[in-house]
């Protein structure tokens, strides 16, 4: 598979994120339904966090088991650095944004939260693009095709995760949905291009740990917006529904051999 064909695969896998974004334009949603839908995003992101953590911890634990201490120390250091940056950079961004907007003491708006979710998902999708590019570049065409289908389906669910905080609160424009999809899905395309020519365990651990740190922050923000006394029951059901939905999607990928 040549380079052009490979980046087309990456583009398709990334563009499927747009399938879930239009739900953000639903109007007149009751508060409890909105809370359920928004916390479904949190459920998807909680599952995504555990999925990311399992992927990045694998090579670290493998080097520890093999007593390759220099490589183990390198990957562990990259993980700590990436996780810290992914988490603390968003905290710093929030403080700077609030300071500039004069909204001291207030939580981020649903629009800005949606963009942060898109950014966190984008970091994760970059690592997925690396996997597609590496498989295609090494001649494993069948595996690359399976990755394309699997990641494409998974990205479609992530589109809903991005707009969950907006449902019933703010009706995003099509331009905003286009931007959010580009932030969340575009890195799949970029990762595919890079992975075709170059891939390293250290790079994979770095981007996965950045994504994990970002998702911890984002899930906390979703709880801030929605975990209120009157809406805890629908919010809890939303977390459960989102988590199970993402998990069942992942099981489909496992059954396909991904």
Structure tokens at 26: 């639903």
The pLDDT of residue 39 is: 84
Tens digit of each residue's pLDDT (9 = 90 or more) over 221-254: 778 777 888 888 998 998 999 899 888 877 876 7
Q: Do 204 and 139 form a contact (C-beta atoms < 8 A)?
A: no
The pLDDT of residue 27 is: 73
- What span, in angstroms and rounded, lies between the C-alpha atoms of 125 and 241? 22
Tens digit of each residue's pLDDT (9 = 90 or more) over 7-48: 777 788 788 888 878 877 777 767 787 778 778 878 887 887
The pLDDT of residue 153 is: 63
The pLDDT of residue 63 is: 93
- What span, in angstroms and rounded, lies between the C-alpha atoms of 156 and 184? 11
Residue with tokens 């974004």: 21
Section 157-164 average pLDDT:
76
pLDDT over 90 for what percent of the chain?
Answer: 12
- What span, in angstroms and rounded, lies between the C-alpha atoms of 169 and 150? 31
The pLDDT of residue 237 is: 94
Tens digit of each residue's pLDDT (9 = 90 or more) over 76-86: 999 999 899 88
**pLDDT over 80 (residue 103):** no
**pLDDT over 70 (residue 123):** yes
The pLDDT of residue 145 is: 62
Section 140-157 average pLDDT:
63
The pLDDT of residue 142 is: 57
**pLDDT over 70 (residue 135):** no
- What span, in angstroms and rounded, lies between the C-alpha atoms of 178 and 213? 25
Domain residue ranges of the chain, discontinuous segments joined by +: 3-22+29-255
Tens digit of each residue's pLDDT (9 = 90 or more) over 179-210: 999 998 888 888 888 877 776 788 778 877 88
Task: Pick the range with the lowest mean pLDDT from 24-28, 136-140, 169-173, 214-218.
Answer: 136-140
The pLDDT of residue 144 is: 60
DSSP structural state of residue 173: -
- What span, in angstroms and rounded, lies between the C-alpha atoms of 185 and 2? 22
What residues contact 223, with CB distance under 8 A and at least 6 apart? 42
């Amino acid at each position: 598979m040549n380079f052009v064909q490979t980046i087309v695969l990456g583009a398709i896998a990334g563009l499927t994120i747009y399938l879930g974004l239009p739900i953000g334009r639903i109007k007149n949603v009751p508060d409890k339904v909105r809370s359920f839908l928004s916390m479904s995003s949190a459920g998807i992101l909680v599952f995504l966090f555990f999925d990311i953590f399992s992927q990045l911890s694998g090579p670290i634990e493998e080097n520890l088991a093999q007593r390759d201490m220099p490589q183990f120390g390198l990957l562990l250091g990259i993980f700590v650095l990436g996780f810290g940056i992914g988490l603390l950079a968003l905290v710093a961004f929030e403080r700077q944004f609030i300071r500039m907007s004069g909204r001291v003491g207030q939580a981020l708006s649903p629009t800005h939260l949606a963009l942060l979710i898109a950014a966190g998902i984008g970091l994760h999708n970059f690592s997925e693009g690396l996997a597609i590019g590496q498989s295609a570049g090494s001649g494993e065409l069948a595996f690359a095709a399976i990755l394309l289908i699997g990641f494409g389906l998974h990205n479609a669910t992530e589109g809903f995760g991005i707009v969950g905080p907006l449902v019933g609160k703010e009706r995003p424009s099509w331009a905003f949905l286009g931007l959010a999809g580009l932030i969340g899905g575009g890195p799949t395309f970029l990762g595919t291009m890079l992975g075709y020519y170059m891939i390293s365990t250290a790079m994979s651990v770095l981007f996965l740990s950045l994504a994990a740190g970002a998702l911890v922050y984002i899930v906390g923000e979703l709880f801030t917006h929605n975990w209120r006394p009157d809406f805890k029951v629908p919010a809890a059901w939303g977390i459960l529904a989102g988590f199970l939905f993402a998990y069942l999607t992942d099981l489909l990928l496992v059954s396909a051999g991904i």
